[in-house]
Structure 1
Amino acid sequence: MISKKTIEEVFNVAVIEDVIGDFIGLKKAGANFKGLSPFSDEKTPSFIVSPSKRIWKDFSSGKGGNVVSFLMEHDGCTYPEAIRYLAKKYNIEIIETQDKTFNQKDEDDKESISILLDFVQKQSKEYLINNKNILKYLLDRKLDKGIIEKFNLGYLPKGSKEFYDKLIKKGFKKEILIKSGLFLEGDNIYSRFNERILFPICSISNRIIGFGGRILNKDKKTAKYINSPESLLYQKSKVLYGLNFAKTEIIKNDNCYLVEGYLDVISLHQKKITNVVASSGTATTIDQIRLIKRFSNSITILFDSDQAGINAALRVIDVALSLNMYVNIIKLPDGHDPDSFSKEMDYTTLKKYLNENKQDFLSFISNIDSENLEIPEKKIKLVKKLLHSISLVNDVTNQAIYIEKASKILNLDSRILFQDLINRNKKHQEKEEKKIIKEQEINPPSKEEQFLFKLLLNHGEKYIQINVNQKVHVAKMIIQELQLDGITIEHPIFIKILGEYQDALKKGKIIEKDFFINHRNIEIVKITAYLISEKYKIDNWEKKNIKVQKEEDILFSLVKEALIRFKLKRISDITKEILDRIPSIINNEEKKMELNRFSKLMNLSRSLHKQVGREC
């Protein structure tokens, strides 16, 4: 188990904007940083990172938290994995503590698999360097030693049993070797990547999560390329090969080249085209396109020139348009893929070709089906194809621009196309409205409860003056007031937060909001980030000489009124529950007790209403 000291050091050292900036494009916005949400398909940035508060808040999805919760949300990793990632990033030594209740398997097999994959990558790299024939094979394919080193290419020789035994001797368990996807189990143990060149597949945070393997011989019965199977670390539909290298260049160029294979990426990198990623030989998924969208809204498809490549490009076009991305396609000369084509020219010639042969999706689709448009059936099919793609765009202005261009291509009145599009949009909207109904939390906190805890988290450690001779911490005042009237907190996360304050007060301590921002309970982190984030800053008002009262200036009044309004809301809810329950109570004594409780609550309600200037 990771020690508390290590966790504290990680939180102290980690720079939240630096960590999150590795995953999404951030731009300075006053005291904060802003970027497009990685959790929703937004066009206007609403993802905010606050370096001073050390939190992030995504206003489009409602998510938020600290640097660890971001990694957990973004990469789907566990709390310990996020801590280990940050420790590695900032060169912090991880101190482990002994815990009899701790079990490595319960912690998750992910860490063991990760260590195994790192070891195999290093070992395969040694095999490649020491095998002159394999190295010559790659050099003959015009890959230089620098690019082989950059992408950590490796090779696994023949000999499954020997390799398996070596890993067992190194301390790796058979269960982990199988779960990693490196080995297959049947009558014998068999290495999946036997006699293949290995391409390490990395997560966006540069962690090896799987491998691609290319066979050297031309045996038609054997697949040329294979990938690691899905595992605890590797989900192929959510990974893009090369993104760990490309993310910064994609932001810089505001464009991402999407190719199909490992060598396509590597060869383009060798020609200094580095804003490029690959779908790793699988059909491109919406999750993969969402990954690209985090860094740029523009995608340029660069697939093989054969019919399979064209069909794959058409599928990607529709996925990208549905995410409101700008899509361009580059068709390579017949018989070429990005790997072979890039090797025939220098950087300048290649760059010029890519720029001059870029087509938008309308031109690309039209050029494919441009023959025999005099035949009505052919033209109708092209109209339907173009309108289908345009209808996927969730932006009226963009749709209008695309319709104008389609009108010129098809030589049809744009008003006719608009009407057809409107009809399509109506049908699409009806389907979307059914999806938009959001799942509601079973017991969402009331606005009164939220505001009370907003004050508690933001100001709990501060003193407020009760009278001339008495001052008290905000946290203590809130706890005492709630205990005084016996009014309980309802929301489970707020109950846990209040419990933390109560435990601290018993020990004579007062905790600050950083304690909750860095809490191990990720739900506490999320709700803390939500309540302490400010969507509307008052700084700009003050610059305009508009006087705005801050919470600190009227803290006593705010806390007092927040407590009263919360109590009134809870009393209202409880009395309604009592009235609903009374008719079903058979026992007279129990009914009398409930009526007595109802009466006391109503008296308290009248008293509280008077305090806020309202008679009941």
Structure 2
Amino acid sequence: MARFTEASLAHLYESIDIVDVITQYIDVRKVGANFMALCPFHDDKTPSMSISAIKGLYHCHACGASGNAIRFVMEYERLSFHDAAQKIAALFNVVLAYEKGYVETKKTNLLPSLALFYHNNLFKHNDMLQYLFSRAINEDSINEFEIGYSGNSYDTLRFLDEQKLSRKEAVEYGVLTQGNDRDYARFANRIIFPIHSSTGVVVGFGGRTLSADKNVAKYLNSPQSKVFNKSKILYGYHLAKQMIYKQKSIIVCEGYLDVIMLHQAGFKNAVATLGTALNEGHLYLLNKDNPRIYMCYDGDNAGINAAFKAAKFLSQNSKDGGVVILKDGLDPADMIAQNKIELFKDALNNAMPFVEFVLRHIIKDFDINNPMQKQNALKACKEYLHTLTPFLQDEYKQKCASLLQISPIYLDTKNQKTNHIEMPKDSTNNFAEESILYNMLEHKEHFYLAINFLTKEHFQTYRHEFQLICNQDYDNDRIYALRFKTKAKILNDEEFKEQLRIFLLQYAQDMLPKIAISPIESSLKFQQIKALHENIAKLKRGELVSVGMV
């Protein structure tokens, strides 16, 4: 089997994002500077796999599995290095060159070639070009976003055949459909918006018809394929990401035209979902560098309902940002086209925080002048608030009470489900356990760090609570008691790491006399004591290490 050239592989590594690769197979979450996931290479119950986008590497702290993007695909799909590299190259439309001098082009250039054909074709159809101009889209934007026109079905088929591009692959990628023993272009007589991966590779298309036929869908996206998953793609992200990192903010819209017009007006951090609700699949992009998120959906009822779902989802994931309220049912593209840029800026600057927006949206469905309906509204608000962190619950208690025109005491969860739980008496060790658990509840970063080093055996008083937290059973009475009766404070990253180190050091030192009197074989006892002393030395030097039970 021919080998890839070193330059070709180097180009592949430069073109891919390991997070993009791994999220094709498993769900990941951003934790600090890295991403965490349940390791697929062992029976992982809590996220043990760390993924570094900067280093391009993954590592499982439990089973030791590690490597780069190609190694991950090799292990996950049981593929050879050659096949795994080919699969990733196809995913990112990268051409791999071989030492023997030939180039593997299979499954790599069909979509980019077609995008270029559509783009060039647009300038041959003045009516389509004039339509875009009538929507205030200028030629620079047309070129930047590679907007095109498909022409009729025959135009696409002829291009594929002339370029010797496989019709079979075109079907796989959703470019062609089949019926009555014939091939048809999926995107016929449509303005084309190429859809790119986060690294800038064409992975699919969106098409808009200008037909007045109500039986024809106005917008049409590529179907799911090996390279296209609309639930994990944000339109325009490849163009917006540098500005997102620079401004520490991202504007999320609904449609292609919204993004194009916002970029044209200078809002270069705008992206759009692709006809799907914001979901877990989008989080890894939204988590990169932790930007403030502005949800900017249309001002009509459908847009407001979509914004409600997005705001609820983002607040439950502790994301910072707010919902941009556009008046008179306008969408961002309309505002820019009507030269209402300053009004849009004002709306952006006055975005309503996610939690407040959700609370207001819940309450509007009730007549709070009716005591029974007000009580139902209170119940609905409390159910939502309980899905947030305790800190956010406490912060928004007063706001919720104000919106409902009631006393905050009715939102005080300290009096709920906790009175019969007896908390252990304070001691130095009890408080250390309590503080660690409280911070695990308050911060996902602290949670993921702690579970890499702790098991329930490390806890004497709060062993059951630790297990409940690991199982994410936050509605248990013991967790309510821990949250609302603790005297522990929220720690920053360095403070929590230091507390965890001291806790492990104390545990290790306590283990020494227990091992000394344990009825185990002498040579094994010696090995355990030696290992424990080594771990104690590392902990004293400031390192975090796992310290297990005898």
Residue pair 2:277, 2:306 contacting (<8 A) in 1 also: yes
- The answer (yes or no) to whether the contact 1:366–1:382 under 8 Å persists in 2 is no
Matched, 1:151 2:154: no
Deviations 1:176-205 (A, max 9, x none): 121111111111322111000011111111
* Matched ranges for 1:251-270 at <5 A: 251-270=245-264
What is the match of residue 374 of structure 2? 379
List aligned pairs for 1:30-429, cutoff 5 A. Answer: 35-37=33-35, 39=37, 55=57, 57=59, 64-66=66-68, 68-69=70-71, 78-82=84-88, 94-95=97-98, 97=100, 112-158=106-152, 160-187=153-180, 188-296=182-290, 298-345=292-339, 347-363=341-357, 365-366=359-360, 369-370=363-364, 372-393=367-388, 395-419=389-413
- The offset of 1:84, in angstroms, is 7.6
Alignment partners' CA distance in 2, 1:61 and 1:291? 27
What TM-score results when the alignment is normalised by the length of structure 1? 0.57
The answer as to whether partners of 1:238 and 1:288 remain within 8 angstroms in 2 is yes
Query: 1:71: how far off?
Result: 8.9
Partner SS for 1:241: coil
Q: Which amino acid aligns with 2:68?
A: N
Q: Percent identity?
A: 26
Query: Letter of the aligned partner of 1:151 in structure 2?
Result: F
Residues 10, 83 of structure 1: 8 Å contact kept: no
Aligned AA (2:407):
D
Query: Is the 2:92–2:201 Cα contact (8 Å) retained in structure 1?
Result: no
**CA–CA distance in structure 1, aligned partners of residues 240 and 285 of structure 2:** 12
Q: Where does 1:569-608 land on structure 2 (aligned, <5 Å)?
A: none
Contact 2:308 2:357 in 1 (8 A): no
Provide Cα deviations, 1:468-504, integer angstroms capped at 9, x if missing partner.
xxxxxxxxxxxxxxxxxxxxxxxxxxxxxxxxxxxxx
CA distance in 2, matches of 1:61, 1:381: 49
Partner letter of residue 262 of structure 1? Y
Match of 2:455 in 1: none
TM-aligned CA deviation for residue 261 of structure 1: 0.9
Q: 1:357 to 1:288 in 2, by over 3 A?
A: closer
Match of residue 458 from structure 2: none
Give the secondary structure class of the aligned counterpart of 1:37. strand
Counterpart amino acid of 1:3? R
Q: CA deviation at 1:212?
A: 0.4
Contact kept, 8 Å, 1:212 with 1:225, in 2: the verdict is: yes
> Does the Cα contact within 8 Å between 1:23 and 1:204 map onto a contact in 2?
no
2:528 and 2:373 mapped to 1: Cα distance?
74
- 1:55 touches 1:64 (CA, 8 Å); kept in 2? yes
Contact 1:330 1:359 in 2 (8 A): no
What CA deviation, in whole Å up to 9, does each residue of 1:494-531 have, x standing for no partner? xxxxxxxxxxxxxxxxxxxxxxxxxxxxxxxxxxxxxx
Is contact 2:312–2:355 with CA below 8 Å preserved after alignment?
A: no
Shift of 1:215: 0.3
User: Relative to structure 1, is the Cα distance of residues 307 and 73 closer, same or farther in structure 2, using a 3 angstrom cutoff?
Assistant: farther
Secondary structure at 1:133 match in 2: helix
- Paired AA for residue 172 in structure 1: L
Q: Distance in 1 between matches of 2:280 and 2:271?
A: 15
TM-aligned CA deviation for residue 346 of structure 1: 5.5
Say if 1:301 and 1:313, in contact at 8 Å, map to a contact too.
yes
Stretches of structure 2 lacking an aligned partner (at least 5 in a row) = 23-30, 39-45, 419-440, 442-493, 495-519, 531-550
C-alpha distance in structure 2 between counterparts of 1:67 and 1:413, whole Å = 54
1:124: Cα distance to partner? 0.3
* Higher RCO (CA 8 Å, separation ≥ 6 residues): 1
> 1:60 Cα deviation (Å)?
11
Could you say what secondary structure the match of 1:130 adopts? coil
Offset, 1:98: 9.4
Between 1:399-408 and 1:260-269, the stretch displaced more is 399-408
Residue 359 (structure 1) shift: 4.3
Contact 1:155/1:197 (CA < 8 Å) preserved in 2?
yes
What SS class does the counterpart of residue 256 from structure 1 fall into?
strand
SS of the residue 2:329 aligns to: coil
**Equivalent residue runs for 1:496-575 within 5 Å:** none
In structure 2, how many angstroms separate the alpha carbons of the residues matched to 1:61 and 1:135? 57
Equivalent residues of 2:363, 2:404 under 8 A apart: no
Q: Give the aligned residue type for 2:381.
A: L
Distance 1:380 1:340 in 2: 40
1:49 offset after TM fit, Å? 7.1
| 2-structure distance, mates of 1:162, 1:267 | 29
Matched residue type, 1:406? C
How far apart in 2 are the matches of 1:327 and 1:156? Answer: 38
- Distance, in Å, in 1 between the alignment partners of 2:63 and 2:312 is 24
How far off is 1:314 after superposition? 1.5
Structure 2 length as normaliser, TM-score?
A: 0.63
What is the CA-CA distance between 1:402 and the residue it aligns to?
1.9
1:379 Cα offset (Å): 2.2
Instruction: Determine which structure has the larger helix proportion and give its number.
Output: 1
User: Are the structure 2 counterparts of residues 379 and 72 from structure 1 closer, same or farther at C-alpha, using a change threshold of 3 Å?
Assistant: farther
1:443 counterpart residue number: none
Distance verdict in 2 for CA 1:204–1:78, change over 3 Å: farther
Shift of the alpha carbon at 1:265?
0.9
Structure 1 residues 398 and 421: alpha-carbon distance in aligned structure 2, compared to 1, 3 A threshold: farther
Structure 1 gaps of 5+ residues are: 25-32, 105-110, 425-432, 434-535, 537-571, 573-604
| Partner residue, 1:6 | 6
CA positional deviation for 1:62: 7.8
After superposition, give the CA deviation of every residue in 1:7-57 in whole Å (9 maximum; x if it has no partner).
Answer: 7x74599679x9679999xxxxxxxx97142648x9xxx765786xx8555
- The AA in structure 2 aligned to 1:378 is Q
Q: Tell me how far apart the structure 1 counterparts of residues 345 and 62 of structure 2 sit (CA, whole Å).
A: 37
Higher Cα Rg, which structure: 1
Q: Distance between the aligned counterparts of 1:115 and 1:164, measured in 2?
A: 16
* Secondary structure of residue in 2 paired with 1:213: strand
Deviation, 1:252, is: 2.5
How far apart, CA to CA, are the structure 2 residues paired with 1:611 and 1:295? 44
Q: Is the 8 A contact 1:302 1:338 kept in 2?
A: yes
Partners of 1:312 and 1:20 lie apart in 2 by 30
Is this contact kept in 2: 1:300–1:329, CA < 8 A?
yes
* Native 8 Å contact 2:240 2:268 kept in 1: yes
Work out the CA distance in 1 between the residues paired with 2:297 and 2:307. 7
Q: Distance in 1 between matches of 2:328 and 2:85?
A: 50
Q: State the 1:73 CA deviation.
A: 10
Distance 2:218 2:384 in 1: 34
Q: Which residue identity lines up with residue 135 of structure 1 in the other structure?
A: L
| 2: CA distance, partners of 1:214 / 1:12 | 34
